[in-house]
Copies of this chain bind each other. A is one copy, B any other.
Amino acid sequence: MRIISVKESTIPLGSDKENAAISFQAMTASAVVAEIETSRGRFKGLGFSSYGRYGHGGLLQERFIPRLLNITDEIIGETSIQQMANVWDVLMTNEKEGGHGERSGAVGVLETAIWDAVAKSEDLPLWALLERDVGHSGSNGLPAGKTAIYASGGHYRSGSSDAAEVEEEAKQGLDAGYGWFKLKVGGATQAIDMARIEAAVKAVGSPNLIAVDANCAYGEDQGATHLSEIDQIGLRWIEEPVNPLDYLALAGCCQSVKTPIATGENIFSQADSRNLLHYGGLRAGKDNLQMDFVLAYGLTEYLRMFVDAEALGWSRKDFMPHAGHQVALHAAAGLGLGGHETAAVLGGPFSGVSDDTMVEDGVASLGDAPGAGIENKPTLFRLFHGLL
């Protein structure tokens, strides 16, 4: 493979959504197009930032795109995995250990764009390339090309936090074929949050079909009390109860709460993932690992996280990446992960799945279009207009 060109653009994502931690008014994302040449021709790969950590335009321009374009030799490798590991080494040339933030997202968006191009060069959807070259876990009860899928929403709106709105969203999500629904908590009073949760449970009929995302709100003050109250409901999981790096507090939560815990979306490297698994008190087979590889150095680093996790008794079905981008959908369906998150009803580039993906009875069935399918998601694809 030769790298022919890389273009990037920063996309403003002005939104009135907010969660317990931040508002999204000034949020941005990066769109990347990387063109590669192989023996089969030239192929353009599309990459798009994950949600909530800003675009990476500066870092891409300063360091990561120049490094790729400086390589005039062919990037070799017997399989796509080895080839991409070599791409990864080029990207990380002269980068020091530690400090896994921001650059992990710049590398992630670029690396996943190149995976898209590689899949296209093999005339395979990304899920099928991953199944072929990495292998499917076989542990999630579904064949390759399918994945469990859930709807994520229930954000706080500026100036409103209406349980009726959450109820409607949860109902819409399940009506649309998603398996369960997730809403935000921790950003309002406990009374309001409990009303929101009750409304969601009422809409779907069972607490096991509702998960909540606290965005780190339960680390201090009344956190333990609120958590304990929510724990009584029997929800599917409680997500990010405390600061993602506060392993002591997380281990405390895991000990005191019987509901499964989900976390990992703000863990951006193999080194940090290892520490989370060693010190965070999480329980293999019960809890949920949500590392988001578009923010965390891409699929190459994600595969390394599996190796560590498997050595500690976890399986790939315990992984369920954050944020619902197309590459996560393909990774879930190709590698046999636990499921896929989708912002089902909110609209915009992070919402929904590509048009050739069928969602029914809690399962997404992916199509056969080569690559990761950004082209088949019009709200997202239009953001690449100036780059193609």
Which A residues are within 8 Å of any B CB, using their own CB? 10, 21-28, 52-55, 57-59, 61-63, 94-104, 216, 243-248, 266-269, 271-272, 274-275, 278-279, 295
Q: Is the CB of B59 within 8 A of A97?
A: no
| Minimum Cβ distance to chain B for residue A272 (Å) | 6
Task: Count chain B CB atoms within 10 A of each CB in A24, A25, A52, A272 and give the residue with the most.
Answer: A272
Q: Is the CB of A102 within 8 A of B59?
A: yes
A59-B102, A99-B266 given; 8 more Cβ-contact pairs under 8 Å? A53-B96, A57-B62, A97-B244, A98-B244, A98-B267, A99-B101, A245-B272, A245-B274
Report the copy number of this chain in the oligomer: 2
| Minimum Cβ distance to chain B for residue A134 (Å) | 24
Q: Which residue of B lies closest to A52 (CB)?
A: B96
- Interchain CB contact (< 8 A) of A275 among B53, B61, B245, B295: B245
Q: Is the CB of A97 within 8 A of B21?
A: yes
Q: Which residue of B lies closest to A106 (CB)?
A: B102
Q: Is the CB of B63 within 8 A of A98?
A: no
| Minimum Cβ distance to chain B for residue A276 (Å) | 10
Q: Is the CB of A26 within 8 A of B271?
A: no
A selection of 13 A-B contacts at a CB cut-off of 8 Å is: A24-B94, A25-B94, A53-B99, A59-B59, A96-B266, A97-B244, A98-B243, A98-B245, A99-B101, A99-B104, A100-B245, A101-B104, A245-B271
Complex interface: chain B residues within 8 A of A278 (CB): 247-248, 279
| Minimum Cβ distance to chain B for residue A158 (Å) | 13
Could you tell me the distance between the alpha carbons of A267 and B101 in the complex, rounded to whole angstroms? 12
- Interchain CB contact (< 8 A) of A58 among B22, B57, B100: B57
Q: Which residue of B lies closest to A100 (CB)?
A: B101
Complex interface: chain B residues within 8 A of A52 (CB): 96
| Minimum Cβ distance to chain B for residue A90 (Å) | 13
Q: Is the CB of B266 within 8 A of A246?
A: no
Known pairs A271-B243, A275-B245; A266 contacts B97 (CB<8 A)? yes
Q: Is the CB of B58 within 8 A of A98?
A: no
Q: Which 8 A-B pairs have the closest CB atoms?
A: A58-B58, A99-B101, A98-B266, A102-B102, A245-B271, A101-B101, A98-B244, A22-B94
Q: Is the CB of B268 within 8 A of A247?
A: no
Could you tell me the distance between the alpha carbons of A272 and B279 in the complex, rounded to whole angstroms? 13
Q: Is the CB of A98 within 8 A of B21?
A: no
Q: Is the CB of A96 within 8 A of B245?
A: no
Task: Count chain B CB atoms within 10 A of each CB in A23, A97, A246, A279 and give the residue with the most.
Answer: A97
Q: Is the CB of A94 within 8 A of B23?
A: yes
- Interchain CB contact (< 8 A) of A94 among B26, B248, B272: B26
| Minimum Cβ distance to chain B for residue A68 (Å) | 14
Could you tell me the distance between the alpha carbons of A104 and B99 in the complex, rounded to whole angstroms? 9
Could you tell me the distance between the alpha carbons of A368 and B27 in the complex, rounded to whole angstroms? 44
Complex interface: chain B residues within 8 A of A95 (CB): 22
Q: Is the CB of A55 within 8 A of B59?
A: no
Complex interface: chain B residues within 8 A of A57 (CB): 58, 62
Q: Which residue of B lies closest to A54 (CB)?
A: B63
Complex interface: chain B residues within 8 A of A53 (CB): 96, 99
Could you tell me the distance between the alpha carbons of A247 and B279 in the complex, rounded to whole angstroms? 10
